[in-house]
Structure 1
Amino acid sequence: MRSFRTEIENPVVEKDIIELADKIAQYNNLQIDEEKFRSLRLARGVYGQRQQGVQMIRIKLPYGKVNSKQLRRIAAVSDEYSTGKLHITTRQDIQIHYVDLNRTPELWAELEKDDVTLREACGNTVRNITASETAGIDIDEPFDVSPYADAVFRFFLRNPFCQEMGRKFKVSFSASDADSGLSYMHDLGFIAKISNGIHGFKVMIAGGLGSQPRHADVLYEFLPSNKIIPTMEGILRVFDRYGERKSRGKARLKFLINDIGLEEFIKLVDAEQNAIEFKTVEIDAENYSYSKPVTISTIPNATITDEKAFETWKSTNIIPQKQEGFVAIGVKVLLGNFTTDVARKLADLVEKYAASEIRFSLRQNLLIPFVKKDLIPFFYNELNALGFAEAGYNKVVDITACPGTDTCNLGIASSTGIAEKLEDVIKNDYPKFLNNQDLVIKISGCMNACGQHNMAHIGFQGMSVRTPEKLVAPALQVLLGGGNLGNGNGIFADKVVKIPSKRGPEALRRILNDFEQNANGIDFTTYYKEKGKKYFYDFLNDLQDASNLSPDDFIDWGNNETYVQEIGIGECAGVVIDLIETLFLESEEKIEKAKECHQNKIFPSAIYHSYSALVNAAKALLLAEDISTNSHASIIQQFDDYFINSQKIELQTSFSALIYQIQQHEPSAEFSEKYTKDALYFLKKVRSYRAESLAVAK
């Protein structure tokens, strides 16, 4: 692994990659626990997939922006370490599959040569910061949110207090009140606003999808931009301390706020303010590296051979741009999948004729900004040659789907197979819907909603169904009536019926036929609300009957073999580490990190490493006594109740008073040094107690 030291200029990144390589070696030599190793690799974008012995690698692309050099680098890495295929996610990441675990450090090192990272693309961390793909060019935006999304990404990357939370944390930025960043379904959502000439955001908090979708609350109607980072830091600190850690299904921020209420949550955030170093963080939007179109002296000739197809494509795939003389081109990417050959040609095309930049969208497509209007015919021909000139960008025919049973451990039924079939149904049988953007169709392979099915107008969720003879067939839950209403408001879809998967096309036909015949021009969300759930249930109900299935019903879409329900262990949430000695060792590691940060005068990080060391050491001793824990706050209280109040351990103070010094002091050099010493003192105390207990037991 020495080559990383010479090829990577950033010492922090170099250390990260070497650490991953070392941990892989320890894991292979049975020197590190599998659960502990899983937590570490997930935070570095390395995710187990359905097929044994290979990994999915998630490449983190903040707000979906990638330049030509970066796209070529990603393509080269996929060719060398994967299968030459790329997948756009619904969080604007790129995923590649079938990667050998032992080669992941090399892969990461190659990506970092062009400032592309895997860090915190998975795991219990702040995930990719998403944003409207039209940021910076949106004719309705008050200002470009890109610099602010970028600043949030950089501030929280590798930040100690959001590395080992109880669950993942998702953040979005919306360019305008259209809320194309979908703020209402995020842990934190920011919608651009201007008040009295000041740039700021409407802030939404504690939204989420999954099996129990929750609409986000309004945290602030307007928050100045220099307060978004300190506010988010306070929220993350509280989530880290009070969030559930035992029950994965209840560990998201939405459950914490449901339990304690938004008002109490805000009080806890306010109590963290002393620990936050910067009360305001000015974001230098003026010096941000904005996209700039290249200078084009000669417009290439372009002959259109199919004028009708060209005009249809223009009507659905050209996005007006606020910069005079330019448009953006939306490229529909079927299921978010494309090859590295196409990626390279796209990189060359935008480098020579646009702004050397591509944006990946939340609907698994890509957007090319800064195309001169005179170049539209030329771009159409170039994209058509790549198979990328299909009409219907962000329209009803543009169906979103997660990978489902193709590669995901959690997939129950095929989402990609049914998505392809449904797109065919719309294109062939309902061509008049091609230009309709009031119908959004999304599909997920399981209840976790990576395909965002429960916020769609028409959604499908992978499931299974049992026949009266106890045979199992792939199925789809049909959901209706969801939608984005704008400015932080949205509706989650109702579950209407569950049908065998092979009846999905018939269900869609019935829904579209009814809408076409009876809606009278109103949008689908309004139409569904007027008619109500029972109306749709009644004309779909007969499709639920599983007593008369044919042999074909037992074969899922895109498959040739009889369906077998196989659900693995999901890794999106990371893991809980319960090994006592491992927790003690982690505490020692965190104290060493605290000392290192203190020497480098990064006092907030030093203090938080010491805090984590204290919590881990306390948890270790509680687990040694078979005392269950489920949050940092409960660990602190339980340690006092069991060890301090009973005088089993003498600290000369309570553990809560010792650890909650973090709330009482600003992150100064003096407090950083003292707090690290306190953590070391506490670790020695609990290790001694543990050693004595083991000696007595023998």
Structure 2
Amino acid sequence: MDIYNFLNVLDIINTEKGETEFSKIRSSYGVYLERTGNFMVRGRVNSGEITPEQGIKLISLGRRLNKESIHITTRQDIQFHDISKEELKITAKELEELGFSVVGTGGNTIRNIVISPKSGYENEEFDVSVHVKEVSKKLKDAGIKNDFPRKYKIAFSNNETDDINAQINDLGFIAIKKNDIKGFKVYGGGGMGKNPRQGILLQDFITEEEVYVSITAMAELFNKYGNRENKHKARIRYILDNFGETKFKEEYLKLFFEKSKEKDLKLNLDNSSNKFEYTNKENLYLHPLHGKLKINDLEKIIIFIKEIKYKTKIRLTNTQGLYILGLNKEDKKKGEEIFYDLYNQHKVLSLTACTGASTCTLGFLKTDILVKEIIEFLKTKNEKVLEILPNIGISGCINSCGQHLIFPIGFMGKKRKTENGNQLDIYEIFLGGRRAEVLKIGESYGDIERSKIKDFLFYLGEKILESKKDYQTFVDENKIEIENFLNYFK
């Protein structure tokens, strides 16, 4: 796969041959058909970082495309929506030139490697951004493949808090040190969507130079044993389910030790770049509504950063937000005031939600409607309820792009027919999920009509306040009570 092949296809897209070839390969280049007949185009943001220079050019591209916003994804990518067929070439070409390649951002490829959003700017084992950048470079140099049985997702966490959820990826690395030597715990076989599961521990320590060996070993295992007949059972977690933990681990380790003999698979790390000591310890989290970062807001962020005279960084998160990293206290306070509309003090108002059926052809429900209903309703309510309710994840269908399964509160979209044949917007409720430290997949509490969700959330918040407990303790200890009052909303 390479960008030039794709651009050549876009040159002849209006011919029969070009249309046929485009339809075959477009998803591997992050181009997906939307309900309007136009397209979504996804760009890979290496280690989630956007430099001021990239930001300025991204703003220029967005304005030339007449876009109000850029969408931030849960894999630290960016997306432009509603791109016409005529705009595809300039969008893909300029994203490539900016360093946000469309190659391998969709289809059966190794997707963007996600990274702990504050890596390098918080207490950690070590900064893993250097590893992600080096692995991404090796993948690009080797030529990103699009012939896996399905997508292949990788994550790097900078400490055992695991805020990036490495344990629920196809392959996850968690930074640790052993006898003062940098390395990683390795997890494999995790994933969300249908039949979700947490990955298993494959290796309790590999050196930092061996991560690409591990990635290559898992890729070979995937190619060798992945299901190419049924795409719904083709992800790596199904190999784990079929083999069982013992055989899966044995097969992986056999391939790992074979690959470890190949010298060109070892990372050649420039550890000087891994010795950066941040001076300022304040990080400002900004969360645009529904992950839609307005072009004008991005411009304000770039201006704000360029006026700062010390080293800082923008990094996208896997919750559809972004951090301005490495600020001093004064500048963080200033940022909170400047970006008031993007700075939510309350977790429950920083919802993460997939794009939903407004654009996605797979989504059942328009998640933007639910996001708006929740925020507008809760903003008018008791401040203490806002303080106690946790983060929410929303997916428009079972595919889990909104990561609803690992949020404390999650909603998954469904459709249900009434007796008179009308369609009802229904969400399945998941409670008790945990995104970090002790990762946990949320438990289903049944279905609820979309129109009743905002009232349910407020009532849940009031019940937690009455109990004088935190959210997680309340959910863990009051399952029957929650089921009983949920019946009222059903």
Please state which band the TM-score falls in when normalised by the shorter chain.
over 0.9
1:445 shift after superposition: 0.7
- 2:136 paired with 1:153: yes
1:364 shift after superposition: 1.0
**Other-structure match for 2:9:** 23
Distance 1:25 1:365 in 2: 35
Contact 2:10/2:88 (<8 A) preserved = no
**Other-structure match for 2:71:** 87
1:27 shift after superposition: 4.9
1:80 shift after superposition: 1.9
Contact 1:458/1:478 (<8 A) preserved = yes
Given the superposition, is the C-alpha separation of residues 142 and 248 from structure 1 closer, same or farther in structure 2, using an over 3 Å criterion? same
- 2:119 paired with 1:163: no
Contact 1:120/1:157 (<8 A) preserved = no
1:111 shift after superposition: 2.6
Distance 1:400 1:272 in 2: 36
Given the superposition, is the C-alpha separation of residues 444 and 374 from structure 1 closer, same or farther in structure 2, using an over 3 Å criterion? same
User: Equivalent of 1:428, from 380, 387, 407?
Assistant: 380
Given the superposition, is the C-alpha separation of residues 426 and 178 from structure 1 closer, same or farther in structure 2, using an over 3 Å criterion? farther
**Other-structure match for 2:365:** 413
Q: Secondary structure of the residue that 2:138 maps to in structure 1? A: helix
- 2:329 paired with 1:373: yes
Contact 1:355/1:370 (<8 A) preserved = yes
Distance 2:278 2:4 in 1: 44
1:485 shift after superposition: 4.9
Distance 2:386 2:482 in 1: 23
Distance 1:164 1:186 in 2: 19
Distance 2:98 2:144 in 1: 27
Contact 1:161/1:240 (<8 A) preserved = no
1:482 shift after superposition: 1.2
What amino acid maps onto 2:5 in structure 1? Answer: E
Q: Secondary structure of the residue that 1:239 maps to in structure 2? A: helix
Given the superposition, is the C-alpha separation of residues 381 and 266 from structure 1 closer, same or farther in structure 2, using an over 3 Å criterion? closer
Contact 1:167/1:248 (<8 A) preserved = yes
Contact 1:230/1:279 (<8 A) preserved = no
**Other-structure match for 1:498:** 447
Q: Secondary structure of the residue that 1:42 maps to in structure 2? A: helix
- Residues 208-227 of structure 1: CA deviation (Å, up to 9, x unaligned): 11122111111112221111
User: Equivalent of 1:509, from 433, 436, 458?
Assistant: 458
User: Equivalent of 1:471, from 422, 443, 456?
Assistant: 422
What amino acid maps onto 1:31 in structure 2? Answer: K
Contact 1:200/1:222 (<8 A) preserved = yes
User: Equivalent of 2:289, from 320, 334, 339?
Assistant: 334
Given the superposition, is the C-alpha separation of residues 361 and 190 from structure 1 closer, same or farther in structure 2, using an over 3 Å criterion? same
**Other-structure match for 1:218:** 201
Distance 1:39 1:260 in 2: 32
**Other-structure match for 1:178:** 161
Q: Secondary structure of the residue that 1:499 maps to in structure 2? A: strand
- Residues 69-103 of structure 1: CA deviation (Å, up to 9, x unaligned): 11122222222235231111111111111112343
What amino acid maps onto 2:355 in structure 1? Answer: P
Distance 2:439 2:342 in 1: 31
Query: Comparing 348-357 with 402-411, which one deviates more in the overlay?
Result: 348-357
Q: TM-score, normalised by structure 1?
A: 0.66
Distance 2:337 2:435 in 1: 34
What amino acid maps onto 2:295 in structure 1? Answer: T
Q: Structure 1 or 2: larger strand share?
A: 2
Q: What RMSD, in angstroms, separates the aligned Cα atoms of the two structures?
A: 2.4
Contact 2:356/2:364 (<8 A) preserved = yes
Query: Comparing 364-373 with 349-358, which one deviates more in the overlay?
Result: 349-358
Distance 1:149 1:224 in 2: 14
- 2:237 paired with 1:254: yes
**Other-structure match for 1:382:** 338
Given the superposition, is the C-alpha separation of residues 389 and 258 from structure 1 closer, same or farther in structure 2, using an over 3 Å criterion? closer
- 2:486 paired with 1:531: no
**Other-structure match for 1:451:** 402
Given the superposition, is the C-alpha separation of residues 57 and 280 from structure 1 closer, same or farther in structure 2, using an over 3 Å criterion? closer
What amino acid maps onto 1:430 in structure 2? Answer: N
1:404 shift after superposition: 0.6
**Other-structure match for 2:487:** 541
1:447 shift after superposition: 0.8
What amino acid maps onto 1:128 in structure 2? Answer: N
- Residues 324-364 of structure 1: CA deviation (Å, up to 9, x unaligned): 44411111222111221221221121122153631111111
Query: Comparing 467-476 with 116-125, which one deviates more in the overlay?
Result: 467-476
Distance 1:76 1:187 in 2: 36
Q: Secondary structure of the residue that 1:113 maps to in structure 2? A: helix
Q: Secondary structure of the residue that 1:165 maps to in structure 2? A: coil
Q: Secondary structure of the residue that 1:157 maps to in structure 2? A: helix
Contact 1:347/1:356 (<8 A) preserved = no
- Residues 141-160 of structure 1: CA deviation (Å, up to 9, x unaligned): 01111101112222223645
Q: Secondary structure of the residue that 1:538 maps to in structure 2? A: helix
Given the superposition, is the C-alpha separation of residues 39 and 266 from structure 1 closer, same or farther in structure 2, using an over 3 Å criterion? farther
1:288 shift after superposition: 3.3
The aligned length equals 487
Alignment of 1:104-253 (within 5 A): 104-139=88-123, 141-157=124-140, 159=142, 162-253=145-236
Given the superposition, is the C-alpha separation of residues 59 and 261 from structure 1 closer, same or farther in structure 2, using an over 3 Å criterion? same
Structure 2 unaligned blocks of 5 or more? none
Given the superposition, is the C-alpha separation of residues 147 and 161 from structure 1 closer, same or farther in structure 2, using an over 3 Å criterion? closer
Contact 1:184/1:204 (<8 A) preserved = yes
Structure 1 unaligned blocks of 5 or more? 1-14, 292-321, 545-698
1:434 shift after superposition: 4.2
Contact 1:206/1:257 (<8 A) preserved = yes
Distance 1:209 1:326 in 2: 33
